[in-house]
Amino acid sequence: MDGVGGGGGGAGAQCNPRTVEEVFRDFKGRRAGMIRALTTDVAEFYQQCDPEKENLCLYGFPSEQWEVNLPAEEVPPELPEPALGINFARDGMQEKDWLSLVAVHSDAWLLAVAFYFGARFGFDKADRKRLFNMINDLPTIFEVVTGAAKKQQLKEKTPVSNHSSNKSKSNSKPQQGSETQGKYLKPLQPKDEEEGLDYEDEDEHGETLCGACGENYASDEFWICCDICEKWFHGKCVKITPARAEHIKQYKCPSCSNKRARP
């Protein structure tokens, strides 16, 4: 992706956040880029992590872009470095396990970078606690990649049977009762006779997380559900429009499509 020479050193030179809010914004941007690499861009990420190449690292940038590159040449590096040699393990384990391993190391790197900035710019105890709490309110990359974040949210919803009935109800509403099309949610446009149902849908899906970017469900955005892994995605994250969704009988997210295509 974004070419920055020298790995993490170039990434650090682009941005020097100084306040808790700036560090958190930097964290969210890097996190979003790495989630993209491990979900919607997983086919490209897999291809770039060639085990025949030298030690490679996955970098996330504040611009929400990602890059697979060699580590920084300077010692010590300007920023903490992510896990080295992620490409070597690619063919030695199942893809989902490899992606989960990269996700865990990516979470550790993001925390290291955030608290590096905190130490560099003299955050006190209250600032560090506030930064951690802001970060901790977001699901980890590992939770997004493995689907654990969505499972946890579903566990917190009671009763579970209501979730199933509401899900099918909200899915059938925009499709006029069609049983053959993929599952999706259009932006809510309340009408008098449907207003109660719309708010019920919003409450039900309010804690659902996008399988690509990890952000929460919002009633004013179009969402689509993968019929294979049953993860929900922003339409914009997987490049699916409401009009296109009308003609999809079974939707497969980029990750599931890639798994089927790869021998």
pLDDT of 145 strictly over 60: yes
CA end-to-end distance (rounded Å), the chain: 25
H-type alpha helices, 65-157: 95-120, 125-136, 141-146, 148-156
**Could you tell me the pLDDT band of residue 133, with boundaries at 50, 70 and 90?**
very high
Mean pLDDT for 94-107 is: 95
Q: What is the pLDDT of residue 96?
A: 92
Residue 211 token pair: 């399988």
Residues in the chain: 263
Buried b (16+ CB within 10 A) or exposed e, 93-131: eeeeebbbbbbbbbbbbbbebbbebbeeeebeeeeeeeb
By mean pLDDT, which of 92-101, 161-170, 192-201 is the weakest? Answer: 161-170
How far apart CA 19 and CA 12 sit, in angstroms, is: 16
**Of 194, 34, 49, 212, whose CA–CA distance to 113 is shortest?**
34
Average pLDDT over residues 171-179: 40
Residue 76's CB is within 10 A of a number of other CB atoms, namely 8
Higher pLDDT, 111 or 227: 111
- Residue 76: the pLDDT is 85
Share of the chain above pLDDT 70, in %: 70
Span 118-139, mean pLDDT?
95
The residue among 222, 247, 250 whose CA lies nearest residue 237 is 222
pLDDT digits (tens, 9 = 90+) for 197-240: 444 454 555 567 888 888 877 777 888 888 888 888 888 888 88
Check whether 160 has a pLDDT greater than 60: no
Distance from C-alpha of 243 to C-alpha of 248, rounded to nearest angstrom: 10
What does the mean pLDDT of the chain come to? 78
pTM of model > 0.85: no
| pLDDT score recorded for residue 238 | 85
